[in-house]
């Protein structure tokens, strides 16, 4: 390792950063280690990484090799790929090192052997060429020195000297590698080491500042950093530049709480800490900056194109630049698919695990968020933390989806737009986002969706015929229209109970179908919102697939988590600050506790909301409410939410308030007209 200053400028070498080009995949007959048996596995070679899967659809890797630290041996009927270094290198006692060297190629995971397939003998030659090229390519990328700007100044345009590895940061820290079990973990203790971070992406640690005896190293481009706020025990006998945690000599001293953080790469975790919080904060800042730059060496996600999904499970690919923002994607998609009401759409990121803010699986992106520098960088970190070193990330692990976030409808909807709204409403119900105090509404909505699907597949002559459903016809199709968690709960029950449950659901859906489409709906005080909507529609128009679609959307859109704009904010009160999910839609202002399944804390409809204003990044809401039905007097309260989207939230609340006021005026005019009609009828009766 050559360090900056070790060579004269005359010996400097400047190169553009190389990029990975080699990509190959396919089924091969393989075995791990010389002593194991042969198995058919799916291998993927991409981004300088060779990953083995049990099948081409599998998401969990069996193993992955960084090709920069691999050696290839070619024989007539087989290939042998040996990993010479692991992701995390740590020097151990000589006998343990000897055991590892013996175990690795014989029955460990350091040796991958691929044999020639008799059905396709040329395949092994193709793989040999690809692996050889990938190793050379990976070594070039891995050794490339990056321009890392730590001080916040603009980066120097001058290329980085590739003959010299510069030191980015160095200093003492504590480190600990967790054991393979709880017992091993308890035995391991914190060790004080001198860490040195180089601009080629390697972080090495030594016994002392002299850097004479290297104890281990990490290849940081495969890691992601996570802060941990916990206590740290520090031994009093440790000297050096670090502060002692406590000394008691007849006097009292303030105990300083230390800080630690972790570097994650799939199943591998490496803990680092210091009793001085400011030291840890400096390292965290430096490492985060360095990691974001190192990820450019081998990005797991495309840096040139975006894949945007719609609610009908189709997707569109669009170009990505460093200036692309979320609002640019919405504009592109609305123009591409001829969708009106551009301001009603929002771009959401969806993860297949609760990793957004530590608890969420979905987030609406702010309109001004830069996708490459913010969204995709967060994906790169999360992918390394979850999957570690892999050649590809599962397609559905991270994705962008365009959804309706409001239901104001300033312009007429196109047929495509209405179809997407129905798909979104159906997804909200199936995924459990639609909630109602009256469970019968779910069966009513399922009946409307079934009616729509049946009518869509009919000819004009069949459209005129009356539809009648009988019990038992829908049992095998209920999973397309009812919440998924119902079926997951049913799977845990005995077969007889499960069958009885399905028959009961079928009976309720059939009853709702026949009631909504054929029977007369009588108005009463306990009428559900779905039936109120259906009754109103049936008075104005014939019941067809379009009407069923509109009714379904009309009901779902006012549920607390449906067709809503969602914002992560901090709710400020007198005694505490609570991080919450704020949801705004046609049903009002809803506050949820953050989590994989957000828990509703409180809902304020537009009868409760009095006024709202935004000041800088603070949204202030004035409400009037009753603490209980028994209490006659109402209370007034002021709620404060800290979020950088406060202006957008204020604007959206004002737009919904205008719609609510317009609907209120419309109902007042209708009541007045009805009252006048009744009075005229009474006058006619008197005459």
Q: Residue 232 domain-assigned? A: yes
Overall average pLDDT of the 121-144 stretch:
91
pLDDT of 247 higher than 60: no
In a domain, 235, yes or no: yes
| Residue from 132, 173, 289, 158 nearest 225 by CA | 289
Give mean pLDDT, residues 139-147.
89
On whether both 289 and 172 belong to a single domain, the answer is: yes
Q: What is the mean pLDDT of the chain?
A: 84
Q: Is the pLDDT assigned to residue 661 strictly greater than 80? A: yes
Same domain, 550 and 653: no
CATH number, residue 316: 3.10.20.90
Q: Which two tokens stand for residue 338?
A: 């001829």
Phi-psi region of 151 (alpha: psi -120 to 50; beta: other; left: phi over 0): alpha
pLDDT given at position 5: 40
Per-residue pLDDT at 264? 93
Is residue 51 situated within a structural domain? yes
Q: What is the pLDDT of residue 170?
A: 94
Both 344 and 263 in one domain: the answer is no
For residue 362, list its beta bridge partners.
350
pLDDT digits (tens, 9 = 90+) for 63-81: 899 999 999 999 888 899 9
Q: What is the pLDDT averaged over residues 547-559? A: 90
Q: Does a structural domain hold residue 577?
A: yes
- Find the domain containing 191 and state its range: 167-243+253-294
Classify residue 325 by its DSSP letter: B
Is residue 549 located within the same domain as residue 574?
A: no
Q: What is the pLDDT of residues 89-101, one digit of tens each?
A: 666 555 555 555 6
Residue 270 sits in a domain of what CATH number? 2.30.29.30
Answer yes or no: do 173 and 286 share one domain: yes
Claim to verify: residue 191 and residue 101 sit in the same structural domain: no
Most confident of 10-14, 144-148, 254-258: 144-148
pLDDT (0 to 100) of residue 402: 96
Assigned domain for 673 exists: no
Q: Of 272, 273, 261, 265, nearest to 228 (Cα)? A: 261
More confidently predicted of 350 and 156: 350
Residue 353 tokens read as 């695990």
Q: Take residue 485 and report the two structure tokens written for it.
A: 């968690």
Query: Do 62 and 95 have their domain in common?
Result: yes
Same domain, 471 and 577: no
Query: Is 478 inside a domain boundary?
Result: yes
Please report whether residue 273 resides in a domain. Answer: yes
In this prediction, residue 1 carries a pLDDT of 38
Strands (E), 12-147: 23-32, 39-46, 49-53, 63-66, 70-74, 78-83, 88-90, 111-115
Residue 13 has pLDDT above 90, yes or no: no
d(CA 342, CA 73): 58
Provide the pLDDT for residue 234: 47
pLDDT of residue 168: 93
pLDDT band at 256 (very low <50, low <70, confident <90, very high): low
**Long-range contacts, stretch 481-486, CB < 8 angstroms, 24+ apart:** 481/426, 481/429, 481/430, 481/445, 481/446, 481/449, 481/450, 481/509, 482/429, 482/430, 482/442, 482/446, 482/509, 483/429, 483/430, 483/431, 483/432, 483/434, 483/442, 484/430, 484/431, 484/432, 485/432
Number of domains in the chain: 5
Shared-domain flag, residues 314 and 344: yes
Same domain, 344 and 313: yes
Cα gap 556→554, rounded to integer Å: 6
Q: Residue 565 pLDDT more than 50?
A: yes
Question: Which residues are 268's β-sheet partners?
Answer: 265
pLDDT of residue 239: 46
Tell me, yes or no, whether 448 and 540 share the same domain.
yes
93 or 345: which leads in pLDDT: 345
The predicted model gives 11-32 an average pLDDT of 83
The crossing angle, in degrees rounded to 10, of helices 440-456 and 415-430 is 140
Strands 609-615 and 618-625: antiparallel
pLDDT in tens, 448-477: 999 999 888 777 777 677 777 888 888 889
Residue 18 lies in a domain: no
pLDDT at 241: 46
Q: Are residues 492 and 460 in the same domain?
A: yes
């Amino acid at each position: 390792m050559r360090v900056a200053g070790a060579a004269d400028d005359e010996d400097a070498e400047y190169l553009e950063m190389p990029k990975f080009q080699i990509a190959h995949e396919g089924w091969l007959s393989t075995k791990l280690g010389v002593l194991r048996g042969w198995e058919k596995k799916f291998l993927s070679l991409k981004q300088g990484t060779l990953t083995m899967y049990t099948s081409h659809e599998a998401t969990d890797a069996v193993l992955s090799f960084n090709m920069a630290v691999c050696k290839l041996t070619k024989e007539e009927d087989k290939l042998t790929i040996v990993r010479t270094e692991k992701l995390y290198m740590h020097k151990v006692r000589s006998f343990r090192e000897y055991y590892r060297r013996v175990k690795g190629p014989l029955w460990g995971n350091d040796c991958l052997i691929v044999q020639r397939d008799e059905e396709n003998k040329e395949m092994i030659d193709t793989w040999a060429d690809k692996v050889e090229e990938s190793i050379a390519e990976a070594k070039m990328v891995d050794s490339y020195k990056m321009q890392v700007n730590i001080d916040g100044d603009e980066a120097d345009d001058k290329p980085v000297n590739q003959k010299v590895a510069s030191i980015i940061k160095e200093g003492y820290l504590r480190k600990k590698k967790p054991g393979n079990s709880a017992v091993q973990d308890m035995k391991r203790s914190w060790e004080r080491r001198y860490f040195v971070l180089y601009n080629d992406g390697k972080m090495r640690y030594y016994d002392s500042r002299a850097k004479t005896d290297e104890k281990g190293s990490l290849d940081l481009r495969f890691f992601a950093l996570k802060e941990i706020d916990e206590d740290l025990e520090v031994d009093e006998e440790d000297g050096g530049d670090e502060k002692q945690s406590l000394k008691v000599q007849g006097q009292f001293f303030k105990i300083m709480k230390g800080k630690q953080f972790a570097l994650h790469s799939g199943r591998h975790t490496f803990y680092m800490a210091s009793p001085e919080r400011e030291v840890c904060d400096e390292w965290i800042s430096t490492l985060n900056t360095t990691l974001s730059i190192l990820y450019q060496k081998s990005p797991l996600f495309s840096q040139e194109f975006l894949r945007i999904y719609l609610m009908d499970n189709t997707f569109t690919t669009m170009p990505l630049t460093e200036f692309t923002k979320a609002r640019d994607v919405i504009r592109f998609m609305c123009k591409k698919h001829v969708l009106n009401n551009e301001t009603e759409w929002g771009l959401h990121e969806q993860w297949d695990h609760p990793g957004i803010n530590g608890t969420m699986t979905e987030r609406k992106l702010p309109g001004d968020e830069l996708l490459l520098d913010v969204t995709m960088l967060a994906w790169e970190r999360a992918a390394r933390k979850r999957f570690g070193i892999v050649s590809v990330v599962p397609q559905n692990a991270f994705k962008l989806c365009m959804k309706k976030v409001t239901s104001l409808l300033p312009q007429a909807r196109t047929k495509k737009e209405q179809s997407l709204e129905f798909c979104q409403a159906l997804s909200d119900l199936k995924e459990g986002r639609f909630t109602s105090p009256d469970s019968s509404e779910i069966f009513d909505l399922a009946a409307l969706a079934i009616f729509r699907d049946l009518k869509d597949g009919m000819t004009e002559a069949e459209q005129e015929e009356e539809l009648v459903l009988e019990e038992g016809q829908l049992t095998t199709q209920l999973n397309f229209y009812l919440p998924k968690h119902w079926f997951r709960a049913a799977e845990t029950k005995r077969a007889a109970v499960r069958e009885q449950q399905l028959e009961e659901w079928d009976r309720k859906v059939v009853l709702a179908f026949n009631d909504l489409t054929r029977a007369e709906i009588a108005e009463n005080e306990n009428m559900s919102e779905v039936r109120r909507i259906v009754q109103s529609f049936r008075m104005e128009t014939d019941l067809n697939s379009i009407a069923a679609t509109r009714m379904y959307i009309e009901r779902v859109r006012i549920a607390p988590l449906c067709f809503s704009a969602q914002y992560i904010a901090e709710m400020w009160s007198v005694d505490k600050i609570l991080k919450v999910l704020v949801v705004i839609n046609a049903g009002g202002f809803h506050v949820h506790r953050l989590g994989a399944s957000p828990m509703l804390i409180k809902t304020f409809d537009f009868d409760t909301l009095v006024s709202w204003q935004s000041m800088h990044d603070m949204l202030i809401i004035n409400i009037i409410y009753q603490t209980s039905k028994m209490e006659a007097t109402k209370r007034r309260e002021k709620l404060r939410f800290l979020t950088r989207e406060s202006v957008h939230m204020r604007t959206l609340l004002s737009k919904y308030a205008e719609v609510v006021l317009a609907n209120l005026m419309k109902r007042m005019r209708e009541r007045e007209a009805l009252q006048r009609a009744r009075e005229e009828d009474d006058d006619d009766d008197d005459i």
